[in-house]
Structure 1
Amino acid sequence: MDKEISFLNEEQKQFLIDYVKTKKLEAFNKIQTEASTGYAGFEGASSEDLQLLIDEWVLIDYIDNGFVDKNTPCECGRALRYQYIVRNNKSGQIKRLGINHFEEHISLKKHVVKKIKKEFDLIDKEVSEISERTRVKWSIENVIHYIPNDYKFSTDNINRQLDMGLALSAKQVNSLMKEVNQTILSDNKAAKTFTPENIDLFNYDEPKKISTVFSLTDTQKETIRDLYNRGVKSSRVICEMLIEDKIAPSNRYSTGKPKIFPNVCVFLEEIKGN
């Protein structure tokens, strides 16, 4: 990646280096979570949240030296440029590995290693795409023609990325377009619902917020609130932890998503709103 980003300033370079690290940790731990739980669909969950659900090895750090360095060897002694640092959730043991030795040193199954390598390759390609688009002066205005004033991006990273003059990848653009379209759609619905002719200005009271959470028990609500306050923000991860601790039933939809998921999402929105 060094040659591809050599024309960027130091802030931009560091952002992309951190981006790769974050995405690889999330990818490794998402695949491990799916292998551990037997279920998919953990998009949006942080690496830290996912680590709570993994039985064995989690990725806790990633180092790119920029060159093969004897000071960052694999467990077998081979000098590495890219070193992946994993921890066993049961024993606390830490190992430092090259990507080709996941199967040999921590006994990951071949199909899991193959999937991890594929995801890592996609992340590297995405960063190359961001770099190349930045080099040719890509502009978001040429792709998304209308963004509402004071639009709040789903992640601060997107905002930072644009502010520092970095382009977005096609994946990021697609995600952003969906968000913007949803925001516009929601605003239009709200505008149609609350129009001046529908409101008696002399007798109008703003609607009171009514709780829509009926099926969660007090124990479940207390546990969800505790997990949220401890930093677990993913609805899906919270559901899996409730099931694992036998606080919630394990009933699932055909997609594998827990049936308690919608109620957890609504309750989390209430927590955020308070």
Structure 2
Amino acid sequence: MVLLSKNEIETVMSTLNEEQIYFLQHRTKQKKKSRWLQTLANYKGFDINEKMSDQEIEEKLDDWILVDIKDGGYQKRPHKCDCGQALRFQYIIRNKAQDAVRYLGENCFENYLSLPASVIKDVKKGLYSIDLERDEILVKYKKNLFYPLDKYMHLPLPQDLLDQYELGLPLSDNQINLVERIHTRYEEEKKLASLFQRLTIEQQQFVSKLNQEDRRELLLSIEDGFAESFLYIEDLSEFNEALHRQIQLNLPLLERQKQTIEEWRLTKKREAALHALSPEQQKFILSFGKEEQTSLLDQIHKPLYFSYESIENLLLDDTIKKQVELKLPLLKEQIYQIQLAQNKRDKVEV
């Protein structure tokens, strides 16, 4: 979708009532101001969050704030820059500390604020998307395309979205996506609450102490019954008290916990494999790097590729020959070297 022309906007606007017109104009202006504040705050490195109001962000900035952008229409220049130039687009900015207001064109706007081109680009991109959403609402109104929000009135929806619906204005695609995300989250919260009630008092007390993300993962994992999710661990001495308690309560483990335990088991298995070797074999394997040691120990009980007699006369590195002589597994690149040496020998013999 592209922006509507000023005439197209005015044509659809003329079919709206005064409340609808005011809402759209006020909403567009507020969203532009919010986008400006967020972009400027991010550029200046201020710590802001979605719960902060525009006024709170504005107080932090103490800087030039975008008040409005006026569009005179295609091929029209009814506005004036402070420098005297006739304008189609007029940027109105205000500085509370200096008690000053400036009316600027695009070039003066960029130069006056002394912001990097990338920041100005982000501002313009954001403002364009806000105008695009306004036009989308107007087009949907003209085509009578209304989302059935009445089915979701039980959800904790943003007030401005409810106001828009009550005024008889359609929702943009972004707003519809927001409603559906809120609905999905609401349904999941209901499911989580139901799953939580299935737990014993002791299990509930434990789960309540988890952070939100971990609590969600654990509860969802018991949806189809958690007995099969339980992992038996032979030795708990190396794990923290919380994990001990979780297992004692027969609660399933989180994926990161399962991964930690699996890595621990592999480490124990590799240690056992290493200790089962002769001192000479152990010393030889420990001469490799950590990753190579892991690869070799994982293959200890697998059949060997080559016997010493089959490679004894090949042109190979002494390390590989010694490794085969000690009846130790080989790395992939070592096997490749042996195969190359065999091919060379076979060609010579032919």
Amino acid in the other structure paired with 2:163: R
Q: Structure 1 pair 23/78, CA: closer, same or farther in 2 (3 Å)?
A: same
Give the aligned partner of residue 37 of structure 1: 45
Please, which of 20, 31, 34 is the counterpart of residue 28 of structure 2? 20
Corresponding position: 1:151 with 2:155: yes
Q: Give the paired residue count.
A: 195
SS at match of 2:84: coil
Deviations 1:163-213 (A, max 9, x none): 111111111111111111111111222233347x989xxxxxxx9xx999x
Residues in 2 aligned to 1:80 and 1:20: alpha-carbon distance in whole angstroms: 20
Amino acid in the other structure paired with 1:140: Y
Structure number with the higher strand fraction is 1
Amino acid in the other structure paired with 2:190: D
- Residue 114 of structure 1: how far off its partner (Å): 1.4
- Kept after mapping to 1: 8 A contact 2:65/2:94: yes
Q: Structure 1 pair 3/103, CA: closer, same or farther in 2 (3 Å)?
A: same
- Kept after mapping to 2: 8 A contact 1:2/1:66: no
- Residue 4 of structure 1: how far off its partner (Å): 4.1
SS at match of 1:12: helix
Give the aligned partner of residue 242 of structure 2: none
Identity %: 28
- Kept after mapping to 1: 8 A contact 2:37/2:54: yes
Please, which of 131, 134, 138 is the counterpart of residue 141 of structure 2? 134
Give the aligned partner of residue 46 of structure 1: 53
**Structure 2 unmatched ranges of 5 or more:** 1-8, 211-350
Aligned pairs for 1:189-208 (under 5 A) are 189-194=192-197
Amino acid in the other structure paired with 1:93: A
- Kept after mapping to 2: 8 A contact 1:28/1:58: yes
Q: Structure 1 pair 145/156, CA: closer, same or farther in 2 (3 Å)?
A: closer
- Residue 91 of structure 1: how far off its partner (Å): 3.8
Give the aligned partner of residue 13 of structure 2: 5
SS at match of 2:168: coil
SS at match of 1:140: coil
- Residue 77 of structure 1: how far off its partner (Å): 2.2
- Kept after mapping to 2: 8 A contact 1:63/1:82: yes
Specify the structure having the higher radius of gyration (Cα).
Answer: 2
More deviation, 12-21/183-192:
183-192
Residues in 2 aligned to 1:91 and 1:7: alpha-carbon distance in whole angstroms: 41
SS at match of 1:27: helix
Aligned-CA RMSD value = 3.4
Aligned pairs for 1:34-113 (under 5 A) are 34-37=42-45, 42-43=49-50, 45-54=52-61, 56-59=63-66, 61-62=67-68, 64=70, 73-80=80-87, 82-88=89-95, 91-113=98-120
Q: Structure 1 pair 92/37, CA: closer, same or farther in 2 (3 Å)?
A: farther
Deviations 1:199-239 (A, max 9, x none): 9xxxxxxx9xx999xxxxxxxxxxxxxxxxxxxxxxxxxxx
Residues in 2 aligned to 1:130 and 1:26: alpha-carbon distance in whole angstroms: 19
Amino acid in the other structure paired with 2:179: L
Q: Structure 1 pair 194/64, CA: closer, same or farther in 2 (3 Å)?
A: same
Residues in 2 aligned to 1:119 and 1:133: alpha-carbon distance in whole angstroms: 21
TM-score, normalization: structure 2?
0.48
Please, which of 169, 174, 177 is the counterpart of residue 177 of structure 2? 174
SS at match of 1:25: helix
Deviations 1:37-63 (A, max 9, x none): 177x7445432222133253222x216
**Structure 1 unmatched ranges of 5 or more:** 200-206, 213-274
Give the aligned partner of residue 256 of structure 1: none
TM-score, normalization: structure 1?
0.60
